[in-house]
């Protein structure tokens, strides 16, 4: 069984995150041996430098936090992120198109971004708090069809984060065809363990140090 720290993407995505705060994030990630740090794209080179010599990955976000930019913009942003050294990319799908039932558009966009990142891990944020159950199921189908590696619950910037019910549903939907990342609002050790029990392979949180200390 992998150790608990390796479930955690140590996250800092706030607009006012300073380079100093990112350096601290990387130091904590190395100390705790987290799976990755998750930062906005402009901080990828800084994280690569700070994490040199460790096995902590650099994860970044694409089309964040709304997911409503053009496919072309997402593809460029993803390719640029990989060029800058990102090991993993978390993209936001086009929620409006999903809700309109334009599932081919959504799946094709995911596939285009996956092509841009190549062998790197692609996680797709579906923003569960804005979707009904049918839409969540459709989103998962698009994630699998598009060839992404993970379905992720939330940006942490909308009306809600990961819930136990959603993690269980996403796991049921993707089975072994993709993994599940729970993000947004995972702040206690008990919640953390429960998310893993329900099928989460990764936890995105800004409270990683506290979760392990508990």
For residue 1, name the pLDDT band (cuts at 50, 70, 90).
Answer: low
CA distance 94 to 90: 13
For residue 2, name the pLDDT band (cuts at 50, 70, 90).
Answer: confident
Bond into 119 cis (ω within 30) = no
CA distance 105 to 119: 22
The size of the chain, in residues, is 214
Q: Which of 114, 123, 179, 181 is catalytic?
A: 181
Burial of 98: CB neighbours in 10 Å, binned 0-12, 13-18, 19+: buried
Residue 36: pLDDT above 80? yes
Residue whose structure tokens are 């329900």: 198
pLDDT of the residue at 214: 82
Look up residue 45 and give its two tokens: 């080179």
Alpha-carbon dihedral 115, 57, 212, 205, rounded to 10 degrees: -40
How confident is the model over 73-90, as a mean pLDDT? 98
Q: What is the CA radius of gyration of the chain?
A: 16
Residue 121 and residue 87 in contact, taking contact as beta carbons nearer than 8 Å: yes
How confident is the model over 58-87, as a mean pLDDT? 98
> What whole-number percentage of the chain has pLDDT above 90?
96
Residue 184 and residue 166 in contact, taking contact as beta carbons nearer than 8 Å: no
Class of CATH domain 4-213: alpha beta
pTM: 0.97
Catalytic residue at 152?
yes
92-120 residue pLDDT tens: 999 999 999 999 999 999 999 999 999 99
How confident is the model over 42-71, as a mean pLDDT? 98
How confident is the model over 33-46, as a mean pLDDT? 98
Catalytic residue at 33?
no
Q: Which of 30, 123, 136, 152 is catalytic?
A: 152
Catalytic residue at 177?
no
- Those residues whose C-beta lies under 8 Å from the C-beta of residue 127, and which sit 6 or more positions away, are 67, 92, 93, 95, 153, 154, 155, 158
Q: Which of 9, 74, 87, 90 is catalytic?
A: 90
DSSP 20-40: HHHHHHHHHHHHHT-SEEEE-
For residue 65, name the pLDDT band (cuts at 50, 70, 90).
Answer: very high
Burial of 18: CB neighbours in 10 Å, binned 0-12, 13-18, 19+: exposed
121-177 residue pLDDT tens: 999 999 999 999 999 999 999 999 999 999 999 999 999 999 999 999 999 999 999
- Those residues whose C-beta lies under 8 Å from the C-beta of residue 88, and which sit 6 or more positions away, are 9, 36, 57, 58, 59, 60, 120, 121, 122, 123
Look up residue 12 and give its two tokens: 């800092």
For residue 213, name the pLDDT band (cuts at 50, 70, 90).
Answer: confident
9-22 residue pLDDT tens: 999 999 999 999 99
């Amino acid at each position: 069984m992998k150790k608990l720290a390796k479930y955690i993407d140590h996250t800092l995505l706030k607009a006012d995150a300073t380079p100093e705060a990112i350096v601290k994030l990387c130091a904590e990630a190395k100390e705790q041996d987290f799976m990755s740090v998750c930062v906005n794209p402009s901080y990828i080179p800084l994280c690569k430098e700070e994490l040199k010599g460790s096995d902590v990955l650099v994860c970044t976000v694409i089309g964040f936090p709304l997911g409503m930019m053009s496919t072309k913009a997402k593809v460029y942003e993803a390719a640029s992120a990989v060029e800058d050294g990102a090991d993993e990319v978390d993209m936001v799908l086009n929620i409006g198109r999903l809700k309109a039932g334009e599932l081919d558009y959504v799946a094709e966009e995911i596939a285009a971004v996956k092509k841009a990142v190549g062998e790197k891990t692609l996680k797709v944020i579906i923003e569960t708090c804005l979707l009904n159950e049918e839409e969540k199921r459709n989103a998962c189908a698009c994630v699998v069809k598009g060839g992404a590696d993970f379905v992720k619950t939330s940006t942490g910037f909308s009306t809600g984060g990961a819930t136990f019910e959603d993690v269980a549903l996403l796991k049921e939907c993707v089975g072994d065809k993709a993994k599940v990342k729970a993000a947004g609002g995972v702040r206690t050790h008990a919640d953390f363990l429960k998310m893993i029990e329900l099928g989460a392979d990764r936890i995105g949180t800004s409270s990683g140090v506290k979760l392990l200390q508990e």
